[in-house]
Amino acid sequence: MPAMRDPFQLGEDRFLAWLASRFRARGGSAFSLGIGDDAAVLAGRPARVVTVDQMLEGRHFRFRWIVPRALGRRAVERALSDIAAMGARPEGVLLALSWPRGGEWGRKARALFEGLGGALDRRGVPLVGGDTTRARVGHAALAVVAVGRPWPGGPVLRSGGRPGDLLAVTGPLGAAAAGHLLCSGRLAPPGDRAGRRAAGAALRAFREPTARLELARPLARHARALIDLSDGLGLDLPRLAAASGCGFEVEAERIPVAPAARRLLGERRAFRAAIAGGEDYELLAAIPPDRLPAAERAVARAGGALHVVGRLTAPGGGGRLVRRGAFAPWPAGGWDPFRPPLDAGRPGRVDRAGRRRSGRR
Amino acid sequence: MPAMRDPFQLGEDRFLAWLASRFRARGGSAFSLGIGDDAAVLAGRPARVVTVDQMLEGRHFRFRWIVPRALGRRAVERALSDIAAMGARPEGVLLALSWPRGGEWGRKARALFEGLGGALDRRGVPLVGGDTTRARVGHAALAVVAVGRPWPGGPVLRSGGRPGDLLAVTGPLGAAAAGHLLCSGRLAPPGDRAGRRAAGAALRAFREPTARLELARPLARHARALIDLSDGLGLDLPRLAAASGCGFEVEAERIPVAPAARRLLGERRAFRAAIAGGEDYELLAAIPPDRLPAAERAVARAGGALHVVGRLTAPGGGGRLVRRGAFAPWPAGGWDPFRPPLDAGRPGRVDRAGRRRSGRR
């Protein structure tokens, strides 16, 4: 165990590395994988994946920004996204809920369960257990546990990538970050019609994300490594690369920036939102080049698309952003769309969605 | 779905019944059991049980009452108790942690992980995943997920009891409730030596409970129904009986009241604490009379003991307390040791440990 006085001063990734070394899975454990993937993997027939995701009022959400119905849906989709990121399908969800009582809270609880139930029904996933407690007023908290079963070829870990594998994302990025800025009042809603339409799309992307569950099956078959982009490409791509023991290279021009983010933030900030924004719940896959055509066809059949943005490189190369032929270090770290242009490697201070941001401190 | 305006006005058991009807497990689901047991049951080879337990600062604990190290241990034991209550052994734990930063919080985090790690190491259970986020100062929150594998004969549900089965608890009750009263300043610590010893035992029982994991194996073999007493006999026994479709009868004189509770609270209040106190983390089993001798031997070999307190009766009989030959309705409900003598069926207002209390409202 490394010397540690305050585990939270380490940054999330180093903290998780410390946790993983402290709590190494033992030989003979039914869990074949330690800490550090989107979900834990449980041996058995079939194998299972298990994940837990906590959302706290004032930290991950505010009712000024999101209505309870959308919160219920969002809590489900966040957890299911971790299941999709393992190349698995969800089989059941448990909910630990701490909720204030009295006043408006009863109505809010009903709306929360409507959103949650609607999302589960749409996915065909049962709620199978949990725990409810009364919270102090003003401090609602949810923890959603999702259990799933890998598709053939899965579970797909973060660690399976090899140098030369192509890196592909499953959809446009940055809209959720723009939606978050609108919600929090840091971005004024535009007055024109196209702007209002873009604002609507961005708010939906932030408040009502949809896990890419339908792509888990084709990606379990064709991808060697998989991660969801809930923390943003800026953080999640280095995680996949590090777990796979690779460097990586991304071509700036190939990153699919969401049109709504472009419209609301302008080209430069939208690009930054696409890298550092997070909350888009798209998937990032590492796919061997010779598998790409088959992967693209299978993903298209499932109603999705793959956007190749770069590739994994040899170990030791670190991460690089290629822009108009020039190389720059990977702009890892948090999200602040109003700071100066990409300052390679320096993390932002603003923690958009409550996830602890890593980077140099 | 019953009409519902505020699900939280229903009381926990009716709320869970509503949830269970709204979120009924579908045919073909991998989860063979819906909401309403200590853990969800997942089909497979082997079958698995999954549970989640949330603990919020200001609601389930206060750092004035419990040091972070004990909190870490307590969080683990609470979750493992749900696994034991299914007749299962734990295979892994996931932790969702929301923790403030700065000041004393770093030291507290280290101590939390020491307590948590110590408890897991002692049990031989790996920490296999989770989620950490930064909390607002003063609002730490933990959610512990435990996954386990049933022992032969398990999983043991709440619903397997039959009329005539004997009801047995695995240890003395009421000490944790006395410890809670001491922590919260509602009970003055006694000045004499025997009193101080009792206070120490009560505080340990409250702060550092130990799940009855070692009894899960013999009880999986011999018990027909099983539940843990985290909410107290007053609430948990009616739950087991209702799930089993039975009434029940308990002899007051046979309830094992913890000596420390007797010493600190006096006979009458200690008895009430043993029924309504909760947090003792003993198990309650329904055992067919002809299996009792074998069950007692197997439990003794595992280092425990069975205290028979009563029996399940025919459906429709409700719950009864037999005292000096007279019958009284079962004193269900919450825990307030300073209210007038047992007033059958009326729930208390004080929610000792954050669990939502059921009963008439």
CATH code of the domain covering residue B248:
3.90.650.10
* pLDDT score at B340: 35
- For A29-126, list the strands marked E by DSSP: 40-42, 48-56, 88-99
**Token code pair at residue A320:** 């690089």
**Can you tell me whether residue B54 is helix, strand or coil?**
strand
Residues B145 and B273 in one domain: no
Chain centre to alpha carbon of residue B127:
22
Please indicate whether, in this complex, the C-beta atoms of A133 and B56 are within 8 angstroms of each other: yes
Place of tokens 């948990």: B236
Q: How far is CA A354 from CA A60, A62, A330, B137, B261, in A?
A: 5, 12, 22, 13, 43
A52 → chain B, closest CA residue: B130
Q: In angstroms, rounded to a whole number, what is the distance separating the alpha carbons of residues A94 and A87?
A: 20
Q: In angstroms, rounded to a whole number, what is the distance separating the alpha carbons of residues A2 and A37?
A: 21
**Which residues does chain A have within 8 Å of residue B14's beta carbon, measured at their own beta carbons?**
none
Domain boundary, last residue among A118, A150, A182:
A150
The ipTM of this complex is: 0.85
Residues B197 and B164 in one domain: yes
Q: Return the half-sphere exposure (C-beta side, CA atoms, 13 A cut-off) of residue A163.
A: 10
Question: What is the count of structural domains for chain B?
Answer: 2
Element (H, E) at A298: helix A292-301
Q: List, for residues B136-192, the tens digit of each pLDDT value.
A: 655 788 999 999 999 999 999 999 999 999 999 999 999 999 999 998 888 998 889
Residues A163 and A235 in one domain: yes
B31, B37, B131: residue with CB nearest A92: B31
Residues B317 and B177 in one domain: yes
A103 touching B (Cβ < 8 Å): no
**Which residues does chain B have within 8 Å of residue A119's beta carbon, measured at their own beta carbons?**
none
The mean pLDDT of A243-264, rounded to a whole number, is 96
* pLDDT score at B354: 34
**Token code pair at residue B86:** 């299914």
Q: Between A343 and A229, whose confidence is greater?
A: A229
* pLDDT score at A100: 82
**Token code pair at residue A187:** 């971005």
Q: How confident is the model at residue A260 (pLDDT cuts 50, 70, 90)?
A: very high
* pLDDT score at B200: 96
What mean pLDDT, rounded, does chain A reach?
A: 85
Q: Is A336 within the bounds of a domain?
A: no
Residues B274 and B168 in one domain: yes
**Which residues does chain B have within 8 Å of residue A35's beta carbon, measured at their own beta carbons?**
127-130
The mean pLDDT of A166-177, rounded to a whole number, is 97
Q: How confident is the model at residue B315 (pLDDT cuts 50, 70, 90)?
A: very high
Please indicate whether, in this complex, the C-beta atoms of B8 and A91 are within 8 angstroms of each other: no
Q: How confident is the model at residue A108 (pLDDT cuts 50, 70, 90)?
A: confident
Q: How far is CA A358 from CA A9, A12, A239, B230, in A?
A: 10, 5, 11, 38
Q: Is A335 within the bounds of a domain?
A: no
Q: Between B307 and A341, whose confidence is greater?
A: B307
Please indicate whether, in this complex, the C-beta atoms of A128 and B40 are within 8 angstroms of each other: yes
Give the lowest-confidence range in A18-22, A208-212, A241-245, A274-278.
Answer: A18-22
| Window 266-295 of A, Cβ < 8 Å to B | none
B138 touching A (Cβ < 8 Å): no
Please indicate whether, in this complex, the C-beta atoms of B33 and A355 are within 8 angstroms of each other: no
C-beta neighbour count of B305 within 10 angstroms? 15
Q: In angstroms, rounded to a whole number, what is the distance separating the alpha carbons of residues A176 and A203?
A: 7
Q: Is A10 within the bounds of a domain?
A: no
**Token code pair at residue B239:** 């739950």
B48, B107, B109: residue with CB nearest A42: B48
**Can you tell me whether residue A12 is helix, strand or coil?**
helix
Q: Is A79 within the bounds of a domain?
A: yes
| Window 139-158 of A, Cβ < 8 Å to B | 139, 141, 143, 145, 147, 149
Residues B188 and B314 in one domain: yes
B105 → chain A, closest CA residue: A6
Residues B97 and B24 in one domain: yes
Residues B126 and B166 in one domain: no
C-beta neighbour count of A276 within 10 angstroms? 28
**Which residues does chain B have within 8 Å of residue A106's beta carbon, measured at their own beta carbons?**
5-9
Domain with A251, as residue range(s), is 158-329
A5, A6, A117: residue with CB nearest B23: A117
Residues B143 and B240 in one domain: no
Please indicate whether, in this complex, the C-beta atoms of A126 and B24 are within 8 angstroms of each other: yes
Task: State the smallest CA–CA distance between residue A229 and chain B in angstroms.
Answer: 15
| Contact residues for A239 (Cβ-Cβ < 8 A; gap 6+) | A13, A158, A227
At residue B7, what are phi and psi to the nearest 5 degrees?
-60, -25
Residues A53 and A181 in one domain: no
Please indicate whether, in this complex, the C-beta atoms of B5 and A106 are within 8 angstroms of each other: yes
Q: How confident is the model at residue B34 (pLDDT cuts 50, 70, 90)?
A: low
The mean pLDDT of B348-357, rounded to a whole number, is 34
Task: State the smallest CA–CA distance between residue B225 and chain A in angstroms.
Answer: 18
C-beta neighbour count of A7 within 10 angstroms? 20
Q: List, for residues A36-81, the tens digit of each pLDDT value.
A: 788 899 999 999 999 999 888 877 788 888 899 999 999 999 999 9
Q: In angstroms, rounded to a whole number, what is the distance separating the alpha carbons of residues B133 and A8?
A: 10
Looking at residue A129, which CATH number applies to its domain?
Answer: 3.30.1330.10
A135 touching B (Cβ < 8 Å): yes
DSSP bridge pairs for B51: B146
Residues B86 and B166 in one domain: no
CA-based nearest residue to B145, from A207, A87, A45, A82: A82
B21 touching A (Cβ < 8 Å): no
Say yes or no to pLDDT of A120 above 90: yes
Q: Is B346 within the bounds of a domain?
A: no
Domain boundary, last residue among B133, B150, B167:
B150
The mean pLDDT of B126-142, rounded to a whole number, is 77
Q: In angstroms, rounded to a whole number, what is the distance separating the alpha carbons of residues B254 and A89?
A: 50
Domain boundary, last residue among B118, B150, B182:
B150
**Which residues does chain A have within 8 Å of residue B141's beta carbon, measured at their own beta carbons?**
54, 56, 98, 141
Please indicate whether, in this complex, the C-beta atoms of A23 and B99 are within 8 angstroms of each other: no
Please indicate whether, in this complex, the C-beta atoms of A52 and B23 are within 8 angstroms of each other: no
DSSP bridge pairs for A134: A99
Say yes or no to pLDDT of B131 above 60: yes
**Token code pair at residue A218:** 């084709």
Please indicate whether, in this complex, the C-beta atoms of B25 and A139 are within 8 angstroms of each other: no
Task: State the smallest CA–CA distance between residue B193 and chain A in angstroms.
Answer: 38
**Token code pair at residue A224:** 């060697």
**Which residues does chain B have within 8 Å of residue A109's beta carbon, measured at their own beta carbons?**
6-8
Strand-strand pairing, B48-56 and B141-150: antiparallel
A61 touching B (Cβ < 8 Å): no
**Which residues does chain B have within 8 Å of residue A349's beta carbon, measured at their own beta carbons?**
none
Sort A326 into a burial class: Cβ within 10 Å, 0-12 / 13-18 / 19+.
exposed
Of A107-121, B16-30, B209-223, the range with the highest mean pLDDT is: B209-223
Strand-strand pairing, B225-228 and B283-287: antiparallel
Residues A134 and A233 in one domain: no
Can you spell out the DSSP letters for B283-313?
A: EEEEE-GGGHHHHHHHHHHTT---EEEEEEE
B114 → chain A, closest CA residue: A22
Q: Is A354 within the bounds of a domain?
A: no
| Window 24-43 of A, Cβ < 8 Å to B | 24-26, 29-31, 33-37, 39-40, 42
**Token code pair at residue A15:** 């903290």
- Name the DSSP letter for residue B254: G
Q: In angstroms, rounded to a whole number, what is the distance separating the alpha carbons of residues B206 and A342?
A: 52
Q: Is A338 within the bounds of a domain?
A: no
- Name the DSSP letter for residue A254: G
**Which residues does chain A have within 8 Å of residue B53's beta carbon, measured at their own beta carbons?**
96, 131
Task: State the smallest CA–CA distance between residue A248 and chain B in angstroms.
Answer: 25
Q: Is B336 within the bounds of a domain?
A: no
**Which residues does chain A have within 8 Å of residue B354's beta carbon, measured at their own beta carbons?**
98, 133-134
Q: How confident is the model at residue A104 (pLDDT cuts 50, 70, 90)?
A: confident
**Can you tell me whether residue A276 is helix, strand or coil?**
helix
A34, A351, A355: residue with CB nearest B128: A34
CA-based nearest residue to A151, from A224, A80, A90, A212: A90
Question: Are the CB atoms for B273 and B205 separated by under 8 Å?
Answer: no
A47 → chain B, closest CA residue: B44
Q: Return the half-sphere exposure (C-beta side, CA atoms, 13 A cut-off) of residue B230.
A: 27
**Which residues does chain B have within 8 Å of residue A150's beta carbon, measured at their own beta carbons?**
none
Question: Are the CB atoms for B5 and A98 separated by under 8 Å?
Answer: no
**Which residues does chain B have within 8 Å of residue A79's beta carbon, measured at their own beta carbons?**
none
**Which residues does chain A have within 8 Å of residue B51's beta carbon, measured at their own beta carbons?**
94, 129, 131
Which residue intervals of chain B are DSSP H helices? 12-22, 68-84, 105-123, 175-183, 193-207, 216-222, 233-243, 259-276, 292-301
What mean pLDDT, rounded, does chain B reach?
A: 85
B196 touching A (Cβ < 8 Å): no
* pLDDT score at A337: 42
Q: Between B11 and A301, whose confidence is greater?
A: A301
